[in-house]
Amino acid sequence: MPVQCSSCALSRAVLKRPKTGHSLCKACFFWAFEEEVHHTVVSGRLFSRGETVGIGASGGKDSTVLAHVMKVLNERHDYGLKLLLLSVDEGITGYRDDSLETVRRNQQQYDLPLKIVSYQELYGWTMDAIVKQVGLKNNCTFCGVFRRQALDRGAVMLNVDKICTGHNADDVAETVLMNVLRGDIARLRRCTAISTASDGEGAIPRCKPLKYAYEKEIVLYAYFKKLDYFSTECIYSPNAYRGHARAFLKDLEAVRPSAIMDVIHSGENLSVKEGVKMPVQGTCTRCGYISSQALCKSCVLLEGLNRGLPKLGIGKHHRLHGKILAQQPLTQEEEKKLKAVDF
Amino acid sequence: MCQVDEEYSGHLERRSVPGVSKTCVKCKESTAVLIIRLGDAFCRSCFKEYFVHKFRAMLGKNRVIFPGEKVLLAVSGGPASSSMLAQVQEGLSRDAPKKLRFVPGIIYIDEGGACGQSAEEREKAVALLENILRKTGFPYYIVPLEQVFGLPDSVLESVSCSPEGSGLSYKAAVVQYIQQNEVKQRHSESAGEEAQDAMARLSVHSQYGPEHRQALERLFSSLKTLTAKEDMLQTLRQHLILHTARVSGYSKVMMGDSCTRLSIKLLSNISLGRGAALAADTGFSDPRYGDVVIVRPMRDYSSKEIAFYNRLFGVQSVFIPGLDTKVPDKASIQRLTESFIIKLQADFPSTVSTIYRTSEKLHTACPPLNSSAEPAVKCLLCLCALDTKADEASAFQAILLSERLSVGKAQSDPPSSTTAGSPGQSCCQESGCGAGGCCSTSRASADLKSLLCYSCRLTMKDMTAVDSLPQYITLEAEKRQRRAQMKQEISEFLLEDADDDQE
């Protein structure tokens, strides 16, 4: 028996919303999904009229849907934003080169300007080359740290006011769980914020308009809208420990579908004790990027790569920052510890 | 998903095989009998000393229990709370200078009625437990869960938290406590009879009637998910303990939550949406009830340490099946979290202690949500401060919007400020009465919802018959609603800063 849409009560429902369990028709689902993102944008005061907004586009489902919805909402609700796509080429053969093709197609479909910045031009290293030196363990640290800065540098080149990324509710909830498992109280407090502080120092503010959108609904939206996206996992294996948090969240969702929102709600309402030591934001003495240390993480990682000591940036080696800044050589003992492990 | 900077240093690496040394790391003389953590091999007597010291250090460090104070030990029969009982006995039997100086009593809540046990099974379990409790020589109360249907609604009234202690040093607080006690004792000459009366009432009810048994069955069968059942059981158990403590004059309740248990509780409470009350739910002390403070002196022990101690020193415990006994991993959120953490702990031995340390960095008091807000309104069920007045940009508002948008366009007017305004009103709008008129149950549940915190709302959502709740809850709900209504009627005459509501 066909089920009727619970919203308009006219058409036949084609899907059951993963977030609420209601049966909706295609039109009502699109409308609800878009209006929810609109509410997130408006209530979170993410943008102001006249701003240039860079959409972090990887070619995957989240950023493809984000680009589509942002374009729709910008026209429907007259945000008055200038949108453009911003992509990072990490230099991963067989993964990023393919997904960037998707981004290029998106650019044409949505008629938005596109800027691609590559690790090669920014750092002189591609991920392929990094993995060759570092091995498959810890390579995600390099990629993640570099990508963060690469997006910012691309944004500066294009004179962008804000960056929005395709992080969805599942990602946020997963990060909350992850930070609890790691006992990382500083990140636990920050990770549910919808946008990073815009105190104008160095970094360009970032926000997550899809923060309350379920991953499954994003896929449903892309499926019914027939959006063109690239869906392959990165070839350099996902991180094992985060995988645990991810699997746990999926199980939670299966037991109680609202669990994803419940975790985010918990994260938003945590209050951290005053006496707990928090890192202070400063700037990197070498490149001027935001950093809580004398040297920012990507400068440390880069120094490690260039010196042939890839483990310099893995784990904590703050004591060596002074030596790196002064361009001094490390002692043999120190070097031995930081060399790549032979497999 | 690797865009976040993930730096795992050695402590997250898989464990290596512990090196087995033959002698105790502490006394370096006797042969080791167990390894607690990586490489820490202890002999029998050093382990005992270590274990006992930890308990006393926990109490000594936190200094919340006063000499002569009556402390109720919540014992479930399980290893952790039995071990706690053994520690208290040990501490009280010591020589004068090192003796613990509080006056203990024991409470056991017989939950068999909620877990579908037969009367015989329950009697057997109670008999086993009573055997252990009797031997301690402490007064004990065995309270069947059915008694919640005889609770007075005063249980849920929030007692103002006396600000004492915070500024005082422990010594001064002790002096103050003793003085207060003397005054109380003079008063209690007359009030004593009253208390005795209450006690009598309590003990009369300890034999529950068949109507209460049925009511309890009805309540738990109306909860559709095991997640909600476990949450409700926890709430009711807490109310019973609280009531017993008040009636019998206990001002502290000791719970036997181990470090392992607390880290499971922390993660499952996050998953249940209880983030706002996380610190109170997992910290050393939980002051939310005001006059009765919950303390958790076992929070430094891992379940492994407790198991070793109980085994080596013959601490008796009773296995009593609960709601989640023999259910699959994915039966409830609490169960899922438990198996997740236990499995992760097997691969990454620092999991439990890392999560546990997170709880220590959290704040006990709820932050003022709005500067103009009233003094924290408390949840009807779990009595934590309400976390549902969050601003527009929050997960709570986002999920409400999702529900509004999925139900019908008639009610889809943009989320106005009324949703965040007075709770009594907003809920009627949400409940979607327009669709088919208000039937009494949906109205009742909508009214009730406005008095609950985010997580307790989820539990109520899984409940089919709201009228199966014990009377003390529904009565208190009505009372609060009447008061809210009253306040609204006179709102224009109330001055802005009249926020010293004596509730």
Q: Does A267 touch chain B (CB under 8 A)?
A: yes
* pLDDT for the residue numbered B415: 41
Closest Cβ–Cβ partner in B1, B354, B405 for A246: B1
Binary contact (B354, A182; C-beta < 8 A): yes
pLDDT of res. B84: 96
pLDDT in the model for residue B369: 40
Per-residue confidence band for B422, with pLDDT thresholds at 50, 70 and 90: very low
CB contact under 8 A, B279 and A271: yes
Chain A residues touching residue B2 (CB < 8 angstroms): 140, 143-144, 234, 238-239, 242
If you write DSSP's letter for every residue of B26-79 in order, what string do you get?
A: TTSSSBP-EE-STT-EE-HHHHHHHHHHHHHHHHHHH--PPTT-EEEEE--SSH
Q: Is B1 in contact with A316 (Cβ distance < 8 A)? A: no
Q: What average pLDDT does the segment B46-58 reach?
A: 92
Three-class DSSP category at B82: helix
Of residues B80 and A315, more confidence is placed in B80
Q: Are strands A290-291 and A15-16 parallel, antiparallel or unpaired?
A: unpaired
Is residue B383 within 8 Å of B156, Cβ to Cβ? yes
Kindly identify which residue of chain A lies nearest to residue B457, measuring between CA atoms: A262
| Beta bridge partners of residue A16, listed in sequence order | A23
Instruction: Judge: A32–B351 Cβ closer than 8 Å, yes or no.
Output: no
Give B339: exposed, middle or buried? Use CB within 10 Å, 0-12, 13-18, 19+: middle
Q: Give CA B228 to chain center in angstroms.
A: 15
DSSP string, A116-152: EEEHHHHHS--HHHHHHHH-SSSHHHHHHHHHHHHHH
Q: How confident is the model at residue B433 (pLDDT cuts 50, 70, 90)?
A: very low
When pLDDT is cut at 50, 70 and 90, the band that residue B445 belongs to is low
Q: Tell me the β-bridge partners of B295.
A: B254, B285
- The pLDDT tens digits of the residues spanning A259-279 come to 999 999 999 988 776 666 667
Cα dihedral B214→B238→B126→B48 (10° resolution)? 160
- B256 within 8 A of B109, measured Cβ to Cβ: no
Rounded to the nearest angstrom, the minimum Cα separation between A231 and chain B is 13
The partner residue sitting opposite B7, judged by closest CB among A141, A176, A180, is A141
pLDDT band of residue B155 (cuts 50, 70, 90) is: confident
Neighbours of A241 (CB within 10 A): 16
Query: In 3-state terms, what secondary structure has residue B130?
Result: helix
Contact A184, B355 (CB under 8 A): no
Highest mean pLDDT among A146-160, A238-252, B331-345: B331-345
Task: List domains and CATH numbers for chain A.
Answer: 26-269 (3.40.50.620), 290-337 (no CATH)
**pLDDT tens by residue, B357-371:** 888 888 655 444 433
A73 contact partners, CB below 8 Å, separation of at least 6: A34, A37, A38, A41, A79
B421 confidence band (pLDDT: 50, 70, 90): very low
pLDDT (average), residues B34-50: 86
Identify the residue with better confidence: B301 or B373.
Answer: B301
Examine the pLDDT at B499 and tell me if it is beyond 80: no
Binding residue ranges of A for ATP = 56-58, 62, 88, 166, 171
Which of A262, A274, A300 would you mutate first to test chain B, the one with the most B CBs within 10 A?
A: A262
Is A32 in contact with B405 (Cβ distance < 8 A)? yes
Instruction: Report the DSSP beta bridge partners of residue B223.
Output: B463
Q: What is the rounded end-to-end Cα distance, in angstroms, of chain A? A: 59
Among A181, A235, A241, which would you mutate to test the B interface (most chain B Cβ atoms within 10 Å of its Cβ)? A181
Distance (Å) from the alpha carbon of A154 to chain B's nearest alpha carbon? 17
pLDDT band at residue A321 under the 50/70/90 scheme: confident
Specify the DSSP class assigned to residue B278.
H
Cα–Cα nearest to B464, from B183, B246, B223: B223
How high is the pLDDT of residue B192? Answer: 46
Interface of A with B in 296-315 (CB under 8 A): 297, 314-315
Q: How far, in Å, CA of A182 to CA of A165, rounded?
A: 24
Res A216: pLDDT: 96
Is B6 in Cβ contact with A273 (below 8 Å)?
A: no
Question: Which residue, among A252, A274, A290, A298, would best test binding to B if mutated, counting the most B CBs under 10 Å from its CB?
Answer: A252
Q: How far B266 CA lies from chain A's nearest CA (Å)?
A: 9
- For residue B384, which residues of chain A lie inside 8 Å, CB to CB? none
Token readout for A115 is 């800027």
**What integer pLDDT is reported at residue B428 of this predicted model?**
40
- Full DSSP string of A261-328: HHHHHHHHH--B-TTS--PPPEE-TTT--EESSSS-HHHHHHHHHHHT-GGGGSS--GGGHHHHHTTP
Secondary structure class of B271 (helix, strand, coil): helix
Asked if A9 is an interface residue toward chain B (Cβ–Cβ < 8 A), one would say: yes
**pLDDT for the residue numbered A190:** 84
For residue B398, give the 3-state DSSP assignment.
helix
Position B172 confidence tier, pLDDT thresholds 50, 70, 90: confident
pLDDT at A32: 95
User: Is B33 within 8 Å of B17 (Cβ atoms)?
Assistant: no
What pLDDT does residue A234 have? 80
Q: What's the rounded Cα separation, in Å, for the pair B495 and B91?
A: 53
Distance in Å, alpha carbon of B27 to nearest chain A alpha carbon: 33
Compute the nearest-CA separation of B227 from chain A (Å): 9
Q: How many CB atoms lie within 10 A of CB B349?
A: 16
Dist. CA A114–CA A68, nearest whole Å:
14
- Contact call for B405 and A36, based on CB within 8 A: yes
A38 vs B: CB within 8 A: no
Q: Is the pLDDT of residue A300 over 90?
A: no
DSSP state of B153: G
Is the pLDDT assigned to residue B419 strictly greater than 70?
no
Q: Give B-chain residues touching A234 at CB under 8 angstroms.
A: 2
Question: pLDDT higher for B434 or B86?
Answer: B86
Instruction: Check A271 against B225: CB less than 8 A apart.
Output: no
Closest residue, chain A, to B274 (C-alpha): A266
A342 pLDDT band (50/70/90 cuts)?
very low
Burial class of residue B194 (count of CB atoms within 10 Å of its CB; 0-12, 13-18, 19+): exposed
* A85 bridge partner residues: A55, A114
Q: Which DSSP string corresponds to B9-34? A: -GGGSPPPPPP--SB-TTTSSSBP-E
**Interface pTM, i.e. ipTM:** 0.86
Judging contacts by C-beta atoms under 8 Å, the chain A residues touching residue B266 are: 180
Interface of A with B in 41-70 (CB under 8 A): 43-45
Torsion of CA B403, B407, B410, B414, to 10 degrees: 20
Strand partners, B294: B253, B286
State the average pLDDT over residues A216-234: 90
Distance between CA atoms of A26 and A23, rounded to whole angstroms?
10
Helix (H) or strand (E) holding A87: strand A82-89
| B307, pLDDT greater than 80 | yes
Task: Find the radius of gyration of the CA atoms of chain A.
Answer: 21
**Residue B116 binned pLDDT confidence (cut-offs 50, 70, 90):** confident
Q: Can you give the pLDDT at residue B494? A: 80
Task: Compare all CA atoms of chain A with the CA of B264 and give the residue at the minimum distance.
Answer: A181
Cα B73 from chain centroid? 14
Over residues A156-212, the pLDDT tens digits come to 889 999 999 999 999 999 999 999 998 888 888 888 888 886 555 567 899 999 999
* Terminal Cα distance for chain B, rounded: 48
Position with higher pLDDT, B29 vs B180: B29
Q: What is the pLDDT of residue A285?
A: 79
Nearest CA-CA distance, residue A187 and chain B, Å? 10
Q: Do A20 and B403 touch (CB under 8 A)?
A: yes
Interface contact B6-A36, CB threshold 8 A: no
**Helix A26-43 vs helix B395-407: crossing angle, to nearest 10:** 150
pLDDT at B372 over 50: no
**pLDDT beyond 70 at B96:** no
**Which residue in chain B has the smallest CA separation from A165?**
B3
Q: Is a pLDDT exceeding 80 seen at residue B305?
A: yes
pLDDT on residue B442: 56
Among A32, A180, A242, whose Cβ lies nearest the Cβ of B267?
Answer: A180
- Confirm if A25 and A8 have CB atoms less than 8 A apart: yes
Mean residue pLDDT of chain B comes to 80
Domains, chain B: 63-360 (3.40.50.620)
**Mean pLDDT score of chain A, rounded to an integer?**
86
Residue B11 pLDDT exceeds 80: no
Range in B197-206, B302-311, B474-483 with the lowest mean pLDDT = B197-206
B7 CB-contact burial (10 Å; exposed 0-12 / middle 13-18 / buried 19+): middle
| A271 at B interface, C-beta within 8 A | yes
Better-predicted residue by pLDDT, B488 or B194: B488
